[in-house]
């Protein structure tokens, strides 16, 4: 089982193209986020996004393979869940890694907090999360069987109504 940071080859970039995580840092952060609390992949994506103030959210295409590698390494394990989503928690070995790498984890979280501060001036993380949810829902519907012009017009009406309601808030 590997516990060094050399296996991660993904390029994790923030919205402005700057590299968000050095090699192995996302892996380490995910184990830390799973220490003491079981979570599923989407929760982890949201947690990282919240830590960065909406400035960065790792893609599912990066998070889920990383979770699979962490399971293979014995640092996290599947836990029984009530829902359809697979939840994970840190193992004793994962918790030991987190304890041993506390300074590195603190530095990662500090960098994400700096990103959050900068992002906070530009966008609210709660709103960014909601916008992402809308985008994912739209993508799911557009590619669903039976999507036609009628469905497109109904969705456009919903979005136009939401825009009008938001404009009236201020």
- Strand 12-13, strand 76-79: pairing: unpaired
Instruction: Give residue 140's pLDDT.
Output: 85
Instruction: Give residue 122's pLDDT.
Output: 54
Confidence class for position 4, pLDDT limits 50, 70, 90? very low
The contacts of residue 142 (CB under 8 Å, 6+ apart) are 152
Name the DSSP letter for residue 37: S
Distance CA 157, CA 25 (A): 43
Hey, which residues does 46 pair with through a beta bridge? none
Distance CA 82, CA 10 (A): 31
Other CB atoms within 10 A of residue 27 CB: 23
pLDDT at 102 over 70: yes
Return the closest-CA partner of residue 53 out of 101, 111, 137: 111
Most confident option among 11-25, 54-68, 89-103, 120-134? 89-103
What is the rounded average pLDDT of the residues 83-93?
Answer: 90
Distance CA 112, CA 26 (A): 11
Confidence class for position 91, pLDDT limits 50, 70, 90? very high
Other CB atoms within 10 A of residue 97 CB: 21
Confidence class for position 116, pLDDT limits 50, 70, 90? confident
Instruction: Give residue 120's pLDDT.
Output: 58
Proportion of the chain above pLDDT 70, given as a percent: 82
What is the rounded average pLDDT of the residues 6-31?
Answer: 64
Proportion of the chain above pLDDT 90, given as a percent: 43
Return the closest-CA partner of residue 37 out of 79, 97, 84, 96: 79
């Amino acid at each position: 089982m590997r516990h060094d940071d050399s296996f991660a080859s993904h390029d994790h970039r923030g919205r402005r193209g700057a590299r968000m995580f050095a090699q192995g840092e996302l892996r380490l952060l995910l184990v830390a986020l799973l220490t003491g609390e079981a979570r599923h992949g989407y929760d982890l994506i949201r947690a990282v996004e919240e830590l960065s103030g909406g400035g960065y959210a790792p893609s599912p295409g990066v998070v889920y393979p990383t979770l699979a590698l962490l399971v293979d390494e014995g640092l996290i394990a599947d836990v029984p869940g009530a829902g359809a989503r697979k939840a994970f928690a840190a193992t004793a070995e994962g918790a030991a890694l987190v304890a041993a790498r506390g300074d590195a984890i603190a530095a990662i979280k500090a960098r994400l907090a700096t990103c959050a501060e900068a992002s906070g001036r530009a966008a609210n993380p709660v709103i960014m999360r909601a916008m992402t949810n809308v985008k994912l829902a739209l993508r799911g519907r557009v590619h669903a069987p039976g999507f036609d012009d009628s469905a497109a017009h109904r969705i456009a009406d919903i979005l136009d109504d939401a825009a009008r309601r938001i404009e009236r808030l201020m």
